[in-house]
Amino acid sequence: GAVVSQHPSRVICKSGTSVKIECRSLDFQATTMFWYRQFPKQSLMLMATSNEGSKATYEQGVEKDKFLINHASLTLSTLTVTSAHPEDSSFYICSAIVSGGRQETQYFGPGTRLLVL
Amino acid sequence: QKEVEQNSGPLSVPEGAIASLNCTYSDRVSQSFFWYRQYSGKSPELIMSIYSNGDKEDGRFTAQLNKASQYVSLLIRDSQPSDSATYLCAVNRAGNNRKLIWGLGTSLAVNP
């Protein structure tokens, strides 16, 4: 159990276009998902917390108008990178929380590699 | 002082040896502790979670938690080359909007 999928796994786009990345919890419901970004040889950076049915909470320094997050159902969160630029090229990873009593665990999707030309 | 600290490594051990990875955290109210493994170019994969003081074993992996000393460690017995990866320590504390606080990771190399 606790499988998280992401689509697409890899995307190449032209500068100025928008890219949507989907994150799905396949065998559980997730009221909370997280979006991370990771540049080569750097650590994970949390971008935002995605809450089902409400607005996302963005970390300091992350532009909410550039990185649009929608969590419309208990199994799907989407991240849209608007007007992408080469500096947005990165590895985008989502995670979802599995709750078991008082204990919660984050499980990660396989990630989406974005290359903006 | 970082909230979660790990030695960046690289930690190099011979195949079959025990690899010991350490993590310290600064916030005493931290409640949940996790070890994730990340292979190069891949997303993190949960290895162990631990919530109570003491040891927790799962196969070749043992997590150790000492809340008084504010450290959590991961032991890997009979290390294999396939264990070569970056190991990330993550901590969750109450009232933190369910977010994890991440260490920067320790790179482990298991030499055949």
Query: Which residues sit opposite B33 in a β-bridge?
Result: B50, B91
* B positions 58-77 inside 8 Å of A (CB): none
Interchain proximity B99–A105, CB inside 8 Å: no
Please tell me if residue B100 touches chain A, with a CB cutoff of 8 Å.
yes
Amino acid of residue A44: L
List all residues of chain A from 47 to 66 with a beta carbon under 8 Å from chain B: 49, 57
Residue A109 CA to residue A23 CA, distance in Å, equals 7
Residues of A whose CB is below 8 A from B37: none
- Please provide residue B82's backbone torsions phi and psi, each rounded to the nearest 5 degrees: -70, -10
**Model pLDDT, residue B27:** 87
Residue A87 φ then ψ, to 5°: -70, -10
Torsion of CA A52, A55, A59, A64, to 10 degrees: 130
Summarize pLDDT for A10-53 with one digit per residue, the tens: 999 999 999 999 999 999 999 899 999 999 988 899 999 998 88
Confidence of residue B8 (pLDDT cuts 50, 70, 90): confident
Q: Is the pLDDT of residue B88 over 90?
A: yes
Cβ <8 Å between B44 and A43: no
Residue B76, Cβ density class (10 Å: 0-12 exposed, 13-18 middle, ≥19 buried): buried
Tell me what pLDDT residue A41 has. 86
pLDDT digits 0-9 by tens, A62-72: 999 999 999 98
pLDDT (average), residues A59-85? 95
Best probe of the A interface among B30, B37, B43, by most A CBs < 10 A, is: B43
